[in-house]
Chain A
């Protein structure tokens, strides 16, 4: 049996259907949460934000035009809210949290050498990328968004999407190199 499409759920939500809201939430809240968490790097803030994101869906469902996938719309709302939160947070607080959350692999070569698994180093480097680069890599690799969809979510031209992705990957390669992994690219 085919599941109700996201578009149908949105139409029902626009009519005030709470059950449709629950279904949509159950279907997408984890991915939206992870997308937001990677941006704000704070569990509690990310939880607050997904409530806000889905509340916006409840309020704006009637204005959803169906020109893009519902997940693209959700991530665009989530991104806007996450960035607004980041703008409101004091710079020091953000820096402290980031310092706590990220261990620069180049900071401690001895410790880096202890990490035998290349994949683990790669994940650490992915975490250490700038928010802009983390965002695009997550959207492309994890959220499976096309060039066009990323352009819509981030609000940049499609060519810029490709360029930004290239530089995100280049930065990742540089960090890997600093951590002792030479991939021969770029």
Chain B
């Protein structure tokens, strides 16, 4: 593809990266490779200056294009207003749910989390084998001792509050490991309804599975339904 002088120096692939290096969008590893090559290859460095020139003029050109009038915004909201009213959807992407949830932390919620953590400790200690949780908005939890179903005909459903420090990657790993998926939530108190895709398991296996999920560091609190 590139018939440049520095091809012989083995910098053909590096030259292809110069535009992204100038724009600052390379990975650290690639940026370091480019920097090393630029220090030792004067021709490559000269071409990098050309790239920077192009970048500067492209920015200049775009910045002189102006902005749309308010007509575009008016038109957008007229169309939005014409749409049917929307009820809150529960099928939001996991990452967005988590980021929304974390972004929405308030001192009140954090205090609430502490109470939930205490409940989780009780669960992990095996004091209660299962907890039925109903989100009641600002009224808090209602709990009741209740064992899991005898068998899991349609999968096992649990309520989970993820550890606020858990990243989306942690949560995804948790879900994959346990063959689970989020089917509802988060509630105002940050609880997700999670389905574990197992069927026909005896009670003892379900209890073991729930315990395994409770022990995961990603989970702040988990209770079977």
Taking Cβ atoms with an 8 Å cutoff, the residues of A that contact B are 4-5, 7-8, 10-12, 14-16, 18, 21, 25, 29-30, 33-34, 37-38, 43, 46-48, 50-51, 54-55, 58-59, 62, 64-66, 119, 122-123, 126-127, 137-138, 140-142, 144-147, 149, 162-163, 165-166, 169, 172, 183-186
Residue contact A14 to B89, C-beta cutoff 8 Å: yes
Partner-binding segment picked from B47-55, B109-117, B188-196: B47-55
Residue contact A119 to B103, C-beta cutoff 8 Å: no
Residue contact B50 to A183, C-beta cutoff 8 Å: yes
Residue contact B96 to A66, C-beta cutoff 8 Å: yes
10 A-B pairs with the lowest CB-CB distances in the bound complex, closest first: A16-B86, A11-B96, A66-B95, A141-B58, A11-B100, A51-B75, A146-B25, A51-B76, A162-B16, A15-B88
Chain B: how many interface residues by the 8 Å CB criterion? 56
Q: Bound complex: CA of A34 vs CA of B22, how far in Å?
A: 21
Q: Return chain A residues, CB-CB under 8 Å to B20.
A: 140, 146-147
Q: Bound complex: CA of A152 vs CA of B117, how far in Å?
A: 41
Residue contact A142 to B62, C-beta cutoff 8 Å: yes
Candidate in B2, B4, B59, B65 with the most chain A CB atoms within 10 angstroms? B65
Given the contacts A50-B72, A62-B92, A141-B19, A55 and B79 also touching, CB distance less than 8 Å: yes
Q: Return chain B residues, CB-CB under 8 Å to A122.
A: 53-54, 57
Q: Bound complex: CA of A11 vs CA of B89, how far in Å?
A: 10
Residue contact B79 to A51, C-beta cutoff 8 Å: yes
Q: A48-B72, A126-B57 are in contact. List 4 more A-B contacts (CB 8 A).
A: A7-B96, A145-B25, A166-B2, A185-B50
Q: Return chain A residues, CB-CB under 8 Å to B69.
A: 47
Taking Cβ atoms with an 8 Å cutoff, the residues of B that contact A are 1-4, 16-17, 19-20, 22-26, 46-47, 50-51, 53-62, 65, 67-69, 71-73, 75-77, 79-80, 83, 85-89, 91-97, 99-100, 103, 168
Residue contact B71 to A166, C-beta cutoff 8 Å: no
Residue contact B4 to A186, C-beta cutoff 8 Å: yes
CB of B47 to closest CB in A, whole Å: 6
26 contacts across the A-B interface (CB closer than 8 A): A4-B103, A10-B96, A11-B96, A11-B99, A14-B89, A14-B92, A15-B86, A15-B88, A15-B92, A29-B72, A46-B68, A47-B71, A51-B73, A123-B61, A126-B54, A126-B57, A140-B19, A140-B20, A141-B54, A144-B23, A144-B25, A162-B17, A169-B19, A169-B51, A185-B50, A186-B2
